[in-house]
Amino acid sequence: MKISLAEINSKVGDLKYNANLIKKHADIAYRNGAEILITPELSLCGYPPEDLLLETEFIDRCQHYLLEIAKKFPKLKIIIGHPKRKNKLLYNSISLLYRGKINKVYDKQKLPNYGVFDEKRYFSPGNKPGVFKHKGKTFGLLICEDIWELGPLEELNELNVEYIICVNASPYEFNKTKNKFNIIQKRLDKLDDVTLIYLNCVGGQDELLFDGNSFITKPRKNNVNDLSFFSGQFISQNIIADFSKKNHIEITRKYEKFPFHRKILEDSIAQIEVLNEKEFLIYNLLNGLILAMKDYIEKNSIKKLFLGLSGGIDSAVVLFIASKVLSQEKITAIMMPSEFTSNTSLKDANKIASNLRVNYKIIPIQKHIKVFEKTFKNDFEGLDKDITEQNIQARIRGMILMAYANKFKGMVLATGNKSEMAVGYSTIYGDMVGGFSILKDVPKTMVYKIANEINYKKIIIPQRIIDRAPSAELKENQIDEDSLPAYEILDKIIDLHIEKNYSEKELIKFGFSTKLVKKVVNLIKINEFKRRQSAPGPKITSKAFGKDRRYPITNKFRL
C-alpha cells in the first residue's frame, strides 16, 4: 500500500491555483502507484482564509473545485481540506474523494481559539468521528487541534482504526519541532497498535509561517519506536510512503525548488545529530525567514524591493534574505548618510551591497535636514534638540525609500527587530516604513546568531558589522545602550514578560533591578500604538506582536 503525502504551499483565496496544485500532486501520486493522496488542512482555500469564509461565493467555488478534482482522478482516493457549509453553518472539513464524487466528509471537532487561531469566529465543531476503509484496513481522520485535545484520538482508538491520518496547518515556532513530536508521541503511546500519518502544510502567509515537518510514527513498545519518518522543514514536496513491508516504510520524494541558505537535510531530527542543536535551530530559522519573504513577495506579485542600508546588522541580514528570493538587479539598497553617519557605516554598507551584488545608492540627507531646521527655526527657537530632530532624520529616510518604491513600482522592506518593536526603539513613519518586516518577531540577540550563520562558509556580512556596538547614528557618538539595557538583558526580560507572561514583581525575582524592570515594561506598554501600525512579519516565537498578543492601546492599568 502506497500513500502520497502532499506538503503543499497553497495560496489563500486562489482556488484555481490550489486546485491545480492538488491535481499536480494527484498526478504524481497516481503515476507512482499511490492509492491515497493526502493534502493539508484547508489546502483547497489556503490557511487561514479569515473573513473570506464569510463570502458565500467563496464557499461555493470551493465546492466547485472539490468536485472538479474528484472527477479528474476517479481511481485515486484523495483527501482534501476545505471549508464546508451545511444548514447555514460553516465547518473546517476534509473530504475523501473517490470514483468521481465526495465519498466521506469529516468535520473538525476541536476548534482552536488561542494565540493566532480564531476558528470559533467562523466554524462550528463537528461531532462525529471520520472513518473509512481501504484494502481491508480501517483509517481514522483528524484535523490539527483534534490530536492535541482529549477525545477524537481516543475515540478512533476505540473504533480499532489501524491508521490515523491527521492533516494540519500548524504554524512554525522556533525550537518547537522536537517538543511537538514528543507530545504527540506520548499521546500515541497510550493507544493500541496504530500508525499515525501527520501531514502539515508549508509556506508563508502574511504573519504566519508553516514548516511542513510531517512525520509517520507508531506507539513505542518498551520505549522503542520501530517505525518513524520525518519529512524535514520548509520543503514543499510530495512524499510517497510505501507501507507494504512490515515495520518499514520505503520513501520516495519529489521536491519543489527553494533557495536554501545551505542544503537542507531530509530528516529534521537527524539534522540535530549532524549540527549541534543550537546551530541547527538558527540554520532552520534562516531558511524559514527566506521562505516567508519569498512567499510574501511572490504571492503579492511584488517585482522590486527597496531598503535602507545603514551599515548595521539588521539591514544587513534583511538584505541577505532578500538576495535569496529576488534577483540582484531587482533589489536596491540605499544608504542615506547624515552628519552623524560614521565612515565605518559607509564602508560596511558598501561592502555588503558589493558582496551581494545588488543595486546600491548613496543619497545624503543633510540638505533635507537643513530644510526642516529652517522650517521649524522660529517655532523651535530656544528649545533643546531632542528626539524630535532624531525622528526627522528617520522620517526623511522613510520618505526617500517610499518615493523610490512608488515610482518604480516596488516595495520597501522594514528592517526592525522584535527587541526594538517591543520597547518602541524605532520611528513611526520613519525606519518603520515598509510593506513587510521579516525580522519583526526576531529578537536582536537572535539577529546576531543569524548573521553568523549567514557567514558560516564565507564572509558575506562584514565581521565589523557583527562585532561593533549597534547604533541608530541619529546623534553624536550614539549607541543603543545609551537608551536601552544590553540586548542580552533586554531580550530576556521581553521573553519572560511577553512570551511567558511574567509580571513586574515576578521579573524582579529573576534578579533584574526594580528600576530596569519598570522601565522596560512601561516602554512595552506605551508603544503598542506603534506596533499596531507596523508592517506585517512572520511569527517565529511563541508569542508574536499582533494576532498573538492583542493589547489595548488606550488603557490605564498600571501596577
58 and 150 housed in the same domain: yes
- Checking if the pLDDT of 38 tops 60, the result is yes
- pLDDT band (50, 70, 90) for residue 272: very low
Least confident of 81-90, 171-180, 455-464: 171-180
- What pLDDT does residue 555 have? 85
Per-residue pLDDT averaged across 223-236, rounded? 77
User: What's the whole-number mean pLDDT along residues 457-484?
Assistant: 87
Could you give the CA distance from residue 485 to residue 313 in angstroms, rounded to a whole number? 18
Q: Which of 45, 62, 144, 201 is catalytic?
A: 144
Query: Does residue 325 surpass a pLDDT of 80?
Result: yes
62 is catalytic: no
Band (203; pLDDT cuts 50, 70, 90): very high
Residue 169: inside a domain: yes
CA-CA distance, 186 to 195, in Å (whole number)?
A: 14
Domain check: are 333 and 202 in the same one?
no
Helix or strand or coil: residue 418?
helix
Mean pLDDT, the chain, as a whole number? Answer: 92
| Same-domain status, 203 and 137 | yes
- Whether 211 is covered by a domain: the verdict is yes
Expressed in angstroms, the distance from the first to the final Cα of the chain is: 62
pTM of the model: 0.94
In total, how many domains does the chain have? 2
274 lies in a domain?
no
Picking from 209, 224, 258, the residue at the C-terminal end of a domain is 258
**Residue 160 and residue 252 in one domain:** yes
Note if 108 is an active site residue: yes
**Is the peptide bond prior to 129 cis by the omega test (within 30 degrees of 0)?**
no
Q: Which residue type sits at 297?
A: I
Please report whether residue 266 resides in a domain. no
Task: Give the range among 109-123, 229-243, 390-404 with minimum mean pLDDT.
Answer: 229-243
Helix (H, G, I), strand (E, B) or coil at 405: helix
Whether 152 is covered by a domain: the verdict is: yes
Q: What is the pLDDT at residue 223?
A: 61
CATH code for the domain of 417: 3.40.50.620
Q: Which of these is catalytic: 77, 84, 108, 324? A: 108
Mean pLDDT of 297-311: 97
Same domain for 390 and 504? yes
* 144 annotated active-site: yes
The pLDDT of 313-327, averaged and rounded, is 97
185 plus 314 within the same structural domain: no
**Has residue 35 been placed in a domain?**
yes
Q: Whole domain around residue 185: which residue ranges?
A: 2-258
Does some domain include residue 271? no
